[in-house]
């Protein structure tokens, strides 16, 4: 039995507390689960452990969450889903066996998932969330059991018992205000390790609801904020956050420290190391975040803080993401028409779409949308409504776009950043479809053809980091 410090909320005393979250790659098999336990036990301040569902063991493998989605889709299609269900249970069983845990754990996991699969699925969204959440929920039970097998006192804590309350927006749930106080009470005074499943909580009606994919990051941040942790450690399969995607530019240097705002911009624009919505709870509570590698825990990682020193004109990172489209609208004297933008966004909202950016001119406006949400059926309906209700002169949709984002606190009030960036695009023979800069001036967004994305990123990296 290891010696542990008594836990109390950091806000009440000086006891240090680290909340650590482990992603799917960190829990893919028994070896990885063993690493997780070793990391937690190496630091007595790590008392709260948030876990994802087991991820891929290799490039040809399937994530448990995707397996559960396949199971749910089969049931919704009217099938028994026996094969899909067995595949999920077998995956958990392999981890259980390799850890040397009792078979009763797998039997319990199998029974619980089967009960969900055979339950009411008249509401597809609610049913899908219940199935998806089974990955994190049962992984947490396995990890807690492994700690106990090692002689360490540890508990599994159900989000229902902890009072993690979410809105009933299934698949895209939001935190409800009472959750912070509930979570603070649930963790206060417990002296040992708590293993908490990420990704989901419960609605006020008692139904399971999930965050968007990658939502275990959000869970960890919410808990870290609620207990006023000294740091929120987010363990993944990379050493740190890099200035550019290493898959595009090899041997790029890591970022040692960046601000919440910078990380949120980079995460939104394609840096998948941390969910962009996970930044918000930590920001509000002032809890620093540290990105670390489960397979190399001794590496310092990347710290995400409220403020940092920065050099004027310095770009911190270049992020990119494809899968966007632009709704381009022209109307003579658009600027004189009171309420035009509001009515346009109302149509977008009523069609259950969310917009990403909205650059505009005197007589034209573009709305940047995620391409996967604009299905042919939705597109036809949106175009018809805009033509009829707004009486526009021209309307078109441009698909196959990517956004490329320059991010850095040093860009604020700096002269020449845009000129340097446009020169980089010209040198790479990449046409800029649109430019947008936020009022904070710490980011600059460029729209390009998706086929030019990597070329654009490489040229920007050479311009801002190699010169």
CB 51 within 8 A of CB 196: yes
> Whole-angstrom Cα distance, residue 306 to residue 51?
25
pLDDT digits (tens, 9 = 90+) for 160-209: 999 999 999 999 999 999 999 999 999 998 889 999 999 999 999 999 99
Structure tokens at 85: 């269900």
How far CA 50 is from CA of 20, 199, 292, 303, 308, in Å, comes to 6, 9, 14, 19, 28
Q: Where does residue 41 fall: left (phi above 0), alpha (psi -120 to 50 degrees), or beta otherwise? A: alpha
Select the highest-mean-pLDDT range: 68-72, 210-214, 362-366.
68-72
- Quick one: CA torsion of 290, 294, 299, 300, rounded to 10 degrees? 10
Q: Residue 12: is its pLDDT beyond 50?
A: no
Radius of gyration of the chain (CA): 24
CA 7, chain centre distance (Å): 28
Percentage of the residues of the chain whose pLDDT score is greater than 90: 64
Task: Give tens-digit pLDDT for 86-144.
Answer: 999 999 999 999 999 999 999 999 999 999 999 999 999 999 999 999 999 999 999 99
Residue identified by tokens 């969204």 is: 125
The encoded tokens of residue 231 equal 């740091």
All structural domains of the chain with their residue ranges: 10-305, 317-465
Alpha-carbon distance of 233 to 17, in angstroms, equals 11
Among 4-13, 185-194, 248-257, which range has the highest average pLDDT? 185-194
Reference 290, options 239, 228, 218; nearest CA is 239
Q: Is 133 helix (H, G, I), strand (E, B) or coil?
A: helix
C-alpha distances in Å from residue 156, one per residue of 3, 48, 160, 198, 348: 19, 10, 12, 12, 42
**Taking residues 378-390, what's their average pLDDT?**
92
**pLDDT tens-place string over residues 406-429:** 998 888 777 888 899 999 999 999
d(CA 224, CA 236): 17
Structure token digits, residue 329: 């609208």
d(CA 384, CA 397): 13
- Hey, which CATH number is domain 10-305, 2.40.160.10, 3.40.50.800, 3.40.1160.10, 3.65.10.10? 3.40.1160.10
Residue 72 near residue 208, CB atoms below 8 Å: no
- Which uninterrupted H or E stretch holds 334? none
Rounded to whole angstroms, the Cα distance separating 178 from 180 reads 6
pLDDT tier, 254 (very low <50, low <70, confident <90, very high otherwise): confident
Tracing tokens 């969310």 back to the chain, one arrives at 354
Work out the burial of residue 323: count CB atoms within 10 Å of its CB; fewer than 13 is exposed, 13-18 middle, 19 or more buried: middle
Check the CA dihedral 453-455-459-461 and report its sign. positive
Percent of the chain with pLDDT over 70: 96
Pairing of strands 254-255, 241-242: antiparallel
Residues 24-72 have pLDDT tens digits of 999 999 999 999 999 999 999 999 999 999 999 998 999 999 999 999 9
Question: How is residue 312 written in tokens?
Answer: 């004027």
Q: What pLDDT was estimated at residue 6?
A: 33
Element (H, E) at 293: strand 289-293
- CATH class of the region 317-465: alpha beta
DSSP label at residue 198: -
Provide the pLDDT for residue 387. Answer: 93
Q: Report the C-alpha gap between 215 and 136 in whole angstroms.
A: 10
């Amino acid at each position: 039995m290891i010696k542990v410090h008594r836990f109390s909320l950091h806000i009440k005393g000086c006891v240090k507390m680290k909340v650590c979250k482990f992603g799917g790659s960190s829990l893919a098999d028994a070896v990885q689960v063993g690493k997780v336990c070793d990391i937690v036990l190496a630091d007595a301040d790590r008392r709260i452990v948030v876990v994802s569902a087991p991820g891929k063991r290799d490039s040809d493998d399937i994530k448990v969450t995707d397996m559960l989605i396949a199971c749910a889709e089969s049931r919704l299609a009217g099938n028994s889903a026996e094969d899909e269900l067995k595949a999920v249970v077998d995956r958990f069983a392999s981890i259980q066996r390799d850890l040397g845990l009792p078979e009763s754990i797998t039997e319990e996991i199998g029974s619980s998932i089967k009960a969900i699969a055979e339950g009411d699925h008249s509401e597809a969204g609610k049913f899908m969330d219940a199935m998806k959440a089974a990955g994190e929920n049962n992984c947490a039970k396995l990890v807690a059991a492994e700690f106990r097998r090692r002689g360490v006192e540890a508990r599994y804590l159900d989000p229902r018992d902890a009072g993690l309350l979410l809105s009933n927006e299934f698949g895209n749930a939001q935190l409800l205000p009472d959750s912070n106080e509930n979570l603070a009470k649930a963790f206060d005074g417990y002296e040992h390790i708590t293993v908490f499943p990420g990704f989901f909580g419960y609605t006020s009606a008692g139904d399971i609801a999930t965050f968007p994919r990658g939502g275990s990051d959000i869970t960890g941040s919410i808990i870290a904020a609620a207990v006023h942790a000294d740091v929120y450690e987010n363990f993944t399969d990379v050493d740190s956050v890099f200035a550019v995607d290493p898959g595009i530019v090899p041997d790029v240097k890591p970022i040692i420290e960046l601000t919440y705002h910078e990380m949120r911009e980079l995460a939104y624009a394609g840096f998948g190391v941390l969910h962009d919505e996970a930044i918000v709870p930590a920001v509000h509570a002032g809890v620093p975040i540290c990105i670390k590698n489960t397979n190399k825990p001794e590496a310092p990682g990347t710290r995400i803080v409220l403020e940092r020193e920065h050099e004027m004109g310095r770009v911190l990172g270049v992020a990119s993401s494809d899968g966007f489209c632009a709704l381009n609208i022209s109307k003579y004297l658009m600027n004189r028409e009171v309420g035009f933008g509001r009515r346009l966004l109302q149509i977008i909202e009523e069609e259950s779409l969310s917009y990403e950016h909205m650059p505009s001119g005197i007589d034209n406006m573009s709305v940047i949308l995620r391409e996967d949400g604009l299905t042919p059926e939705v597109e036809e309906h949106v175009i018809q409504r805009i033509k009829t209700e707004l009486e526009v002169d021209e309307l078109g949709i441009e698909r196959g776009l990517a956004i490329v984002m320059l991010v850095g606190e040093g860009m604020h009030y700096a002269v020449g950043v845009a000129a340097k960036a446009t020169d980089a695009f010209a040198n790479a023979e990449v046409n800029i479809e649109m430019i947008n800069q936020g009022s904070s001036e710490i980011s600059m967004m460029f729209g390009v053809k998706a086929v030019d994305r990597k070329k654009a990123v490489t040229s920007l990296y050479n311009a801002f980091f190699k010169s």
